[in-house]
Amino acid sequence: MQDLEWLARAIGHGLSQLHAANIMHGDLTTSNLMLPFVPAVAAGAVAADGTTITLPALTSDADIDQAGLSFIDFGLSFFSLTEEDAAVDLYVLERALTSTHPASEDFFRRIIHYYEQGPTENEAFAKSAPRWPARVKLILKRLSLVQVRGRKRSMLG
């Protein structure tokens, strides 16, 4: 897990940036995350040509921001102010992780840990930052309800 802490941080902070701007992805799967570089966790691995991969470790938020994790495929995205929609976005990511990577429960918890912190050093987020702690609390409360019932909205009330 330690090797993937940088990735959990990048996903959590990036997703909180989207949700703080009221943007819901709509299809959060690992296929819709893109890294434009070979991850540092591959350092020491042997490439196809027999050479050893040597890369610097990503240790700071600045390193991670520079690494450039991108959310892609916004074809199902939409704007929403509701905690329900943000919770469903998180739930879809959780289901995608657990279905493709069965031992990923702790990894998702780490993503949520960084999601709660909000985006790092982001001017656009600065305006909504004072409201983020209260909002994320409501989103995570709603997530627990969504996890019980599944992603489909309740038809009651």
Tokens of 49: 């040509």
Q: Which of 93, 89, 114 is nearest to 8 (CA)?
A: 114
User: Which letter does DSSP use for residue 46 in this model?
Assistant: B
130 pLDDT band (50/70/90 cuts)? confident
User: Residue 127 belongs to a domain with what CATH number?
Assistant: 1.10.510.10
Look at residue 89 and tell me if it is in a domain.
yes
Look at residue 154 and tell me if it is in a domain.
no
Look at residue 62 and tell me if it is in a domain.
yes
User: DSSP labels for 64-78?
Assistant: HHHHT-EE---TT-E
Active site residues: 27
Look at residue 156 and tell me if it is in a domain.
no
pLDDT digits (tens, 9 = 90+) for 21-53: 899 999 999 899 987 665 544 555 555 666 655
Who's near 52: CB < 8 A, 6+ residues apart?
44, 45, 46
Q: Which domain holds residue 105?
A: 2-149
Q: What is the mean pLDDT of residues 93-112?
A: 92
pLDDT digits (tens, 9 = 90+) for 139-154: 999 999 999 987 666 5
Total domains, the chain: 1
